[in-house]
Structure 1
Amino acid sequence: MVKKDILLNGIVVGEHDATGNNLEDAKAVEAILKEKGLYQEVTTNDAMFNQASAFASVANDLYKRDLKKSPFKGISLSPFIVNAVFSIELYLKAIHNAYGNKIKGHHLASIYKGMPKKGKEHFLNAASDVRPHYQLYEGEDIHSCLESLSKSFEQWRYLYEHNELSTELQSIRYTMHTSHEACCRVRESFKKQ
């Protein structure tokens, strides 16, 4: 068996015998962390935020590698959009979850509209704070971005079924950044209570 380090927040806190079976290894690591008093349950909100962040990370990697520079690799556009928009959806749902709401569906504008007032305040403040980092069209705001992206997850997953889809990369990146920042602010506000 191979010995592998156990990392917690980037710090080596122990090691375990890796079996090659991910489920068995995860259980072993969990037992070691519990034994050391380092194990923390992952809340549903944590899981939602982590998953949203993972999809956002994939989208950002695709953007930097294939879409930001020349040559532009159009084949990466659909995976970028699907991952980015899904991350936005999950961030919005995590905001709802923080306030005790369960939300279904993919329509971003609808998910936003049903958000609690305090969540919307965090979202709009985040939108204002991150806007200077993006080149948006005159009059384009977070509401118009959410509306224009509302069906993107469903449409861009099946790009071959749609002949004339278009989108603006800056507005997607702006909305994804806003959603991430707003979710962080909401989560932080609950930690302070």
Structure 2
Amino acid sequence: MKVVRQVEPKIYYQAEAFHIAADVLHESELMKYRGAPFIVNASFALELYLKCFDGKTVFKKPSVYCEGVVQYERVIGNVSQQGHNLQNLFGGLPCEYKEKIVSKFDALEMGLSAESFFETNSKHFVSWRYGFEGNNGSYVASEVLAMLSVLQSVGQEYL
């Protein structure tokens, strides 16, 4: 039996974990004036959500467990797009996913397009990890949280 998935679940669930971490950090009173951990976790979650739409499940080293049952030494998630640039990752998605993301984000009436969001926030994972070096950019937490929810919702539709 061949398993066909439209979203790579290992990548999706890891994205969801970083999304949860970003939500917790955003709500924490102790983190109120410490944005770097929030935006780094949120940006990595955004990256992983985008990668899960183009990911594949790879089954390594099959062997017969018993008659009619195959086991695998490793099952991994593999992505075709590399890097942390959100704009590039979004641009490389199949049209079906891009259209769904754009439609859901536009419906929120955030005042910017999905394309603009990814352009503005494209390099935050890299720049905010070492924000003390002064190369971090600004972000709007409500926009980031909205896009996280959109990507999570689109991913759930395809799991």
Which band: TM-score by shorter chain? 0.7 to 0.9
Counterpart position of 2:10: 47
- How many Å separate the matches in 2 of 1:166 and 1:184? 29
Deviation at 1:89, TM superposition (A): 0.4
Counterpart position of 1:150: 122
- Does 2:141 align with 1:169? yes
Deviations along 1:8-54, whole A, 9 cap, x unmatched?
Answer: xxxxxxxxxxxxxxxxxxxxxxxxxxxxxxxxxxxx92110110000
Which of the two has greater strand per residue?
Answer: 2
Q: How many residues align?
A: 133
What is the identity, as a one-letter code, of the residue corresponding to 2:92? Answer: G
Higher normalized contact order (CA 8 Å, seq sep 6+, divided by chain length): 2
Quote the sequence identity (%): 28
What is the identity, as a one-letter code, of the residue corresponding to 2:85? Answer: H
Find runs of 4+ consecutive structure 1 residues off by over 2 angstroms.
none
Deviations along 1:67-126, whole A, 9 cap, x unmatched?
Answer: xxxx87212x1000000010000000001116x961101110111111111111222232
Counterpart position of 1:82: 40
Structure exhibiting the larger radius of gyration computed from Cα positions: 1
Counterpart position of 2:51: 93
What is the identity, as a one-letter code, of the residue corresponding to 1:54? Answer: A
1:103 to 81, 86, 94: 81
Counterpart position of 2:91: 113
SS of residue in 1 equivalent to 2:96: helix
What is the identity, as a one-letter code, of the residue corresponding to 1:162? Answer: G
Deviation at 1:165, TM superposition (A): 3.0
Structure 1 unaligned spans of 5+: 1-43, 188-193
Residue 95 to residue 161, structure 1, CA distance change in 2 (3 Å): same
Counterpart position of 1:6: none
Which of the two has greater helix per residue?
Answer: 1
SS of residue in 2 equivalent to 1:167: coil
User: What is the Cα-based RMSD across aligned positions, in Å?
Assistant: 2.4
Map 1:8-87 to 2 at 5 A. Answer: 45-66=8-29, 73-75=32-34, 77-87=35-45
Contact (CA 8 Å) 2:101, 2:114: kept in 1 or not?
Answer: no
Deviation at 1:163, TM superposition (A): 5.9
TM-score under structure 2 length normalisation: 0.74
- How many Å separate the matches in 2 of 1:81 and 1:121? 25
TM-score under structure 1 length normalisation: 0.62
- How many Å separate the matches in 1 of 2:114 and 2:137? 20
Contact (CA 8 Å) 1:88, 1:180: kept in 2 or not?
Answer: no
Structure 2 unaligned spans of 5+: 1-6, 57-77
